[in-house]
Amino acid sequence: MKKQLLIACIAFLSFTTIPFISQAQTIKISGEVSTPLTIDAAYLQKFTQTTVVRKDRDGKDHTYSGVILSEILKNAGVTLGPELKGENLTKYLLVEASDGYQVIFALAELDKSFTDRTIILADKVDGAPLAPADGPYRIIVQDEKKPARCIKQVTAMQVHFVK
Amino acid sequence: MHQLKHNPLLSRQSLRKGRVMFLLLIFVIVSGWCYVDGGIETGPYNLVYPANFGNRIQIPADNPTTKQGVYLGRMLFYETKLSANNKLSCSSCHQQDKAFTDGRAFSPGVDGVLTPRNSMSLVNLLWARRLFWDGRANGLEEQAVTPLTNPHEMGQALSISAQRLSQTANYPVLFKLVYGDEKITGDKIVKALSQFERTLISANSHYDQYLRGAYQPTPDELKGIELFNTAPQPEKGIRGANCSHCHGGPKTYMELFHNNGLDSLPKDSGIEKLTALATDRGRFKVPTLRNVALTAPYMHDGRFKTLDEVIDHYSEHIEQSPALSSFLRGESNEAGGKSLKLNSIEKKQLIAFLNMLTDSAFITNPAFSDPHILSTKNKKH
């Protein structure tokens, strides 16, 4: 009986410690959204995968693949498409990385009715998962001259009104 | 007993004692009243800083900065009654002449146990959003609770600190002046401390003077500035130290958290302890470089005693690991090089620039000094 209790205790402890040993990175989407989301790799697989080719620091073209950012935001109930007018045009997306780095995009920069430039949340580069120091998720902005907004290790996205 | 009661000599003595005590009491009350009412300015505190520091400042709505609040915060910052052994104050680990560090790798608490991480410099906290080497506190108010109550730091519950201050002559009056109520609480203590800390603004180093056109750097300093702000591109013949990637801007401070290659297997796993993410292993807050010449030893564990050692680390000793920050990978002044490889002249030039960040007005500003010293001066000397 004691033995069984011990085994049960060990099993319970291992259950509780597993999440702390290896946690999968997620992205929290919050702010001016009707459905706050916490998304992970499996969630991203539900969307059509899109590729963007752009140069990295090595000066070479790389093919990044992932999901168009506005598609994910639409699922969170962000005012895009026909709703993106009036005061909604003063909304922005704040993207945060695990190292504390932050960048913003105006919602209009992400919307297909405003621009053909593709901005994706990538999880692969040249067919392979992103390197740990870059991933697992990175924003890739098509054709932007500087890579400064191609924010790496994305952990959170918040939609806010300009105050 | 009967005799004693009617001994005229003794009654006169006790009468005299009573008078002396009464006069002393009057003196204490009057001096206490003068102290609070006479010397303390009240009203909103005007935080002054250069425009190029930007206005992304952090003041919680429920703790606006007032002159009386800053005054109280300064008193508390230097108050040893806030520690369990009555010997430590915030200033024990944050000394003004060392740009609010303590010159040690780790700091002993009330029980003599050393802190696990190096005591950070307190400067330009008005802009700080996440505090501690792992950024776990959102704001100064939240941060202050830890060193005050941790058993290996000041080791005293806030409720006890509040009670001890309540028993003094001056603090209840001061708290009333700040909060409109004599009742002292832990929350009010940390709020006042935070108000004082927000005033610790350093913006008058040679570098600041250079940025506003009031100081002409030496050739070495100028070259140091250039190296600091340049990313190396050996294929184009551009040499640089790439420091501004993390320490750039007029504040030499960006709130970033990085694994800077100190170890391949770190003893202290840093932010990983909070997030359980392998990519956060050995990742720590990027500290400000303000007054960096005064804040040795360096790194979260104080492993480097000099700035030369720090620069040697970035130049030659970055340890590779899966969590090493990407901007430190393959960044080199040599084509295909694995490390920065600065030459000895460049290292000296960088240090010339780092010395420009010393702000002598900041470390001698009487507004940041120990306010208790005036009253205890005679006892000490």
Tokens 């459905």 belong to which residue?
A35
Positive or negative, the CA dihedral A112, A116, A117, A122 is: positive
What is the Cα–Cα distance from B280 to A110, expressed in whole angstroms? Answer: 29
How close, in Å, is residue B268 to chain A by CA atoms? Answer: 15
Read off the pLDDT of residues A86-115 as tens digits, 9 standing for 90 and up: 999 999 999 999 999 999 999 999 999 999
Query: Of the candidates B135, B278, B326, which has its C-beta nearest A100's C-beta?
Result: B135
CA distance B251 to chain A (A): 16
Backbone Cα Rg of chain B: 25
How far apart (Å, rounded) are the C-alpha atoms in residues B381 and B378? 5
Q: Does B132 touch chain A (CB under 8 A)?
A: no
- Name chain A contacts of B257, Cβ cutoff 8 Å: 98-100
Interface touch A100/B275, C-beta < 8 Å: no
Interface test with B, best of A99, A150, A151 (most B CBs within 10 A): A99
B319 contacts in chain A (CB < 8 Å): none
Instruction: Please report, for residues A64, A122, B293, the alpha-carbon distance to residue B97 in angstroms, rounded to integers and kept in the order given.
Output: 51, 49, 11
The Cα B158–Cα A52 span in angstroms is 55
Exposure pattern of B19-36 as b/e (b: 16+ CB <10 Å)? eeeeeeeeeeeeeeeeeb
Using CA of residue B10, residue B11, residue B16, residue B21, what is the dihedral sign? positive
Q: How confident is the model at residue A56 (pLDDT cuts 50, 70, 90)?
A: confident
Closest Cα in chain B to A152? B326
Q: Is A145 left (phi over 0), alpha (psi -120 to 50) or beta?
A: alpha
Cβ <8 Å between A101 and B256: yes
**Residue B15's pLDDT is what?**
52
Q: Do B324 and A99 touch (CB under 8 A)?
A: no
Beta-carbon neighbour count of residue B146 at 10 Å? Answer: 14
CA pseudo-torsion sign A124, A105, B245, B298: negative
pLDDT in tens, chain B (381 residues): 344 444 544 455 555 556 655 555 554 444 444 444 457 999 999 999 999 999 999 999 999 999 999 999 999 999 999 999 999 999 999 999 999 999 999 999 999 999 999 999 999 999 999 999 999 999 999 999 999 999 999 999 999 999 999 999 999 999 999 999 999 999 999 999 999 999 999 999 999 999 999 999 999 999 999 999 999 999 899 999 999 989 988 888 889 999 999 999 999 999 999 999 989 999 999 999 999 999 999 999 999 999 999 999 999 999 999 999 988 988 899 998 888 999 999 999 999 999 999 999 999 999 999 999 865 544 443
Q: pLDDT at position A18, please?
A: 41
Q: How far is A27 from A138, CA to CA, in rounded Å?
A: 11
Note whether B279 contacts A22, CB cutoff 8 Å: no
Instruction: Give the ranges where A1-101 is alpha helix by DSSP (H).
Output: 2-21, 41-44, 69-75
Compute the average pLDDT of residues A151-157.
Answer: 96
| Chain B nearest C-alpha distance from A149 (Å) | 14
pLDDT at A163: 85
Which whole number is the average pLDDT over A133-148? 92
What per-residue string of b and e applies to B344-381 under the rule 16 or more CB within 10 Å gives b?
Answer: eebbebbbbbbbbbbbeebbebeebbbbeeeeeeeeee
Q: What pLDDT is recorded for position B10?
A: 47
Measured between beta carbons, the chain B residues lying within 8 angstroms of A20 are 276
User: Which member of A19, A25, A99 has the closest CB to residue B325?
Assistant: A99
Cβ-defined contact of A152 to B326 (cutoff 8 Å): yes
Determine the distance in angstroms separating the CA of A63 from the nearest CA of chain B, rounded to an integer.
Answer: 19
B147 touches chain A (CB under 8 A): no
Q: What pLDDT is attached to residue A16? A: 43
Q: In what order do the strands lie in the sheet with A154-161?
A: A37-39, A27-31, A154-161, A91-97, A102-106
Q: Can you state the angle between helices B158-166 and B186-198, rounded to 10 degrees?
A: 90
3-class state of residue B278 by DSSP: helix
- Check if B140 contacts A (Cβ < 8 Å): no
The CA distance from B127 to B230, in Å, is 25
Exposed/middle/buried for B239, CB within 10 Å: 0-12, 13-18, 19+? buried
Contact B278 A132 (CB under 8 A): yes
Quote the pLDDT of residue B184. Answer: 97
Residue B38 in tokens: 């006479």
For residue A119, give how far its alpha carbon lies from the nearest alpha carbon of chain B (Å): 22
Q: What is the CA radius of gyration of chain A?
A: 19
Q: Do A153 and B279 touch (CB under 8 A)?
A: yes
- Residue among B235, B279, B281, B327 with most chain A CBs within 10 A, to mutate: B279
Note whether B223 and B349 are within 8 A (CB): yes
**Quick one: which of B180, B202, B181, B175 has its CA closest to B79?**
B175
Judge whether B81 and B165 are in contact, CB under 8 Å.
Answer: yes
pLDDT of residue B16: 59
Q: Are B145 and B188 in contact (CB under 8 A)?
A: no
ipTM: 0.78
Residue A27 DSSP symbol: E
Give the E-state strand segments of B156-266 in sequence order. 257-258
Per-residue CA distances from B285 to A53, A158, B299, B340, B377 (Å): 33, 23, 10, 21, 38
Give the gap in angstroms from C-alpha B285 to the nearest C-alpha of chain A: 9
Paired sense of beta strands B137-138 and B257-258, if any? unpaired
Q: Which two tokens mark B73? A: 């915060």
Check CB contact under 8 Å for B130 and A98: no
Q: How confident is the model at residue B338, as a pLDDT?
A: 83
Measured between CB atoms, does B112 come within 8 Å of chain A?
A: no
pLDDT tens for each residue of A5-42: 555 544 544 444 444 445 678 999 999 999 999 999 99
